[in-house]
């Protein structure tokens, strides 16, 4: 039997764990020969289908999720036209709900798996040509010879720690910039919008198994590991054990999802003592309003969440990102603007604003009508309106997300953007209106163009911040010949009698530039290496604008 796995991803940044996780369980099955065709949703479906058909498989298998669903079906329909006798089996998050309609609309798909497939998929492979034996395979959904729909419930691997490890499969992809490491299954939380909401019991891997897997990953030169714990700190004891384990691998950066409301004092101390740069934390906040969280069944006290988030963001040895979700029940657009200002005031390392996806198998989908949530019936199932937010406002939230990502989440512009957000209550609204009016709100913008736009916008609306934008421009290594550097002096620049050094060491052979700010009475000095011609300044100092006495403590 020849099995072809169609490894379809939304990008080449990372690969799904589904292939190695399933293949690892059947590696000893000598009756199966495996082939793989890898592609992204941006490639031509006809070309991909041709590559699949050219290998003449007996079975095509793939995992399906909201961002690959449409492209996957276009490819499989073409494969079926080329190879009508080829069987097709699918799994993944798209099939956590009722699958009868899908199977009736896509009759070329023989079977779909609901839930965790490491045990049920090998069982099905043993009887894939004997349909009468499919009735007892947990999680299987299919149409029988008479067209009757069969639903075998939800497959769940109760002994998660007994599975063969994905890294043992020759199909594990070591060529990506980071890999995923699943250390638990299930989630203690009950979020109505999440496919893992209420998935109990939580099943864990022993610490020694996790250590073995990290050692394997490290031996392949991987420097970033995304830990797939739905809530890393659901157990403070286990979280502390894992943090201790991560300390052993100083050359790797670990990406974790953490619940700020569940931070014990002991865990806070542990996080504060972690080596700088070892951890990247994603804090699921979703909304800063109790009624929104209650409607979404998000467990955890809001005040505790805010206190925990404020603490995490205060730690300079790690980076904390915070998430908001537009389109949740009871969540208004103005509240989203307010929440972004609050998160900016905490100095969140990054703010992610996503639109709600009403996913199959979630409580949010089952209760959508009751909660007043209208969503697209087609992937990615995005919310279209709620009782609290109109379709127009949801589009504004989507464009606001792009604004935040392009300006606040860009390190070059983050500090000045934060100042504007906190100093000017309507800054975000006005900048969003400006981007929409210019027709660039939905365009991909380079780092330099974003800086020019911000500078020109501030010149018209917030001139007091022009110097701040110019300083950010210089420190980002941008051209000193463009508008944000229009007041920067680069010729015949000599050091002042005294200055306060902010970073670097001054050398006489440096190229100096300076920018005077009459409002603050300061002159800002930057030094650049002359030999390397590197655009980033290696020296910064501040002096009085008039060359008079300065209260700084360092001089040259």
DSSP state for residue 232 in the 8-state scheme: T
The pLDDT of residue 553: 39
Q: Cα–Cα distance between 417 and 428 in angstroms, integer? A: 9
Helices and strands counted in the chain (H then E): 18, 21
The pLDDT of residue 551: 39
Token pair, residue 379, equals 């992937």
Residues 6+ apart with CB under 8 A from 537: 474, 475, 477, 504, 526, 527, 528
Counting as low any pLDDT under 70, the low residues of the chain are 12-14, 197-199, 546-556
Residue entry with tokens 């050359």: 251
180 neighbors 214 (Cβ within 8 angstroms): no
Q: Cα–Cα distance between 420 and 418 in angstroms, integer? A: 5
Listed in order, strand segments (DSSP E) in 361-498 are 374-375, 383-385
Report how far Cα 483 is from the mean position of its chain's Cα atoms.
33
Q: What is the 3-state secondary structure (H, E, C) of 138-196?
A: CCEEEECCCCCEEECCCECCCCHHHCCCHHHCCCCCCCCCCEEECCEECCCCCCCCCCC
Q: Which domains does the chain have, with CATH numbers?
A: 2-151 (3.40.50.280), 174-409 (3.80.30.20)
pTM: 0.90
Residues 6+ apart with CB under 8 A from 321: 280, 281, 282, 283, 348, 349, 350, 351, 352
* Length, in residues, of the chain: 556
The pLDDT of residue 31: 85
Listed in order, strand segments (DSSP E) in 23-182 are 33-40, 59-63, 87-91, 111-113, 140-143, 149-151, 179-181
Report how far Cα 236 is from the mean position of its chain's Cα atoms.
24
235 burial type by CB count under 10 A (0-12 exposed, 13-18 middle, 19+ buried): middle
The pLDDT of residue 208: 95
The pLDDT of residue 14: 65
């Amino acid at each position: 039997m020849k099995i072809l796995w169609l490894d379809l991803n939304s990008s080449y940044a990372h690969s799904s764990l589904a292939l190695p996780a399933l293949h690892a369980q059947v590696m000893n099955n000598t009756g199966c020969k495996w082939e793989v065709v890898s592609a992204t949703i941006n490639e031509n479906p006809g070309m991909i289908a041709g590559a699949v058909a050219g290998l003449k498989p007996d079975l095509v298998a793939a995992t399906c999720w909201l961002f690959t669903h449409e492209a996957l079906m276009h490819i499989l329909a073409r494969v079926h036209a080329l190879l009508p006798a080829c069987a097709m089996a699918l799994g993944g998050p798209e099939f956590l709900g009722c699958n009868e309609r899908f199977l009736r609309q896509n009759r070329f798909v023989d079977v779909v798996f609901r839930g965790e497939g490491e045990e049920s998929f090998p069982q099905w492979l043993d009887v894939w040509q004997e349909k009468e034996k499919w009735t007892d395979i947990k999680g299987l959904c299919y149409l029988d010879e008479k067209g009757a729909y069969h639903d075998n419930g939800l497959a769940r691997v109760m002994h998660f720690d007994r599975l063969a490890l994905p890294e043992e499969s020759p199909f594990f992809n070591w060529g990506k910039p980071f890999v995923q490491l699943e250390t638990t299954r299930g989630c203690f939380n009950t979020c109505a919008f999440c496919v893992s909401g209420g998935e109990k019991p939580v099943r864990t891997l022993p610490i020694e198994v996790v250590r073995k897997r990290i050692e394997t990953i490290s031996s392949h030169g991987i420097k970033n590991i995304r830990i797939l714990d739905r809530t890393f700190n659901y157990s403070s004891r286990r979280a502390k054990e894992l943090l201790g384990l991560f300390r052993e691998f100083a050359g790797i950066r670990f990406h974790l999802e953490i619940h700020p409301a569940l931070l014990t004092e002991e865990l806070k101390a542990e996080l504060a003592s972690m080596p700088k740069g070892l951890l990247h934390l994603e804090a699921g906040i979703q909304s800063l309003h109790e009624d929104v969280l209650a409607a979404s069944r998000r467990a955890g006290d809001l005040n505790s969440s805010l206190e925990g988030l404020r603490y995490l963001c205060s730690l300079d040895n790690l980076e904390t990102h915070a998430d908001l979700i537009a389109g949740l029940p009871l969540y208004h657009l103005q509240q989203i603007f307010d929440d972004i200002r609050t998160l900016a005031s905490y100095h969140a390392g990054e703010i992610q604003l996503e639109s709600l996806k009403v996913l199959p198998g979630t409580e949010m989908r089952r209760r959508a009508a009751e909660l007043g949530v209208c969503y697209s019936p087609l992937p990615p199932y995005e919310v279209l309106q709620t009782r609290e937010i109109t379709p127009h406002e949801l589009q504004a939230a989507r464009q606001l997300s792009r604004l935040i990502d392009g300006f606040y989440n860009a390190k070059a512009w983050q500090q000045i953007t934060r100042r504007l957000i906190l100093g000017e209550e309507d800054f975000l609204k006005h900048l969003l209106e400006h981007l929409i009016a210019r027709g660039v709100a939905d365009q991909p913008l380079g780092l330099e163009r974003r800086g020019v736009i911000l500078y020109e916008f501030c010149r018209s609306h917030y001139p007091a911040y022009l110097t701040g934008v110019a300083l950010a421009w210089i420190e980002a290594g941008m051209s000193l010949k463009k508008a944000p550097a229009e007041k920067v002096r680069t010729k015949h620049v000599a050091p002042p009698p005294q200055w306060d050094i902010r970073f670097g060491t001054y050398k006489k052979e440096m190229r100096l530039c300076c920018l005077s700010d009459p409002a603050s009475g300061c002159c800002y000095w930057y030094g650049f290496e002359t030999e390397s011609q590197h655009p980033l300044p290696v020296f910064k100092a501040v002096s009085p604008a008039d060359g008079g006495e300065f209260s700084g403590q360092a001089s040259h």
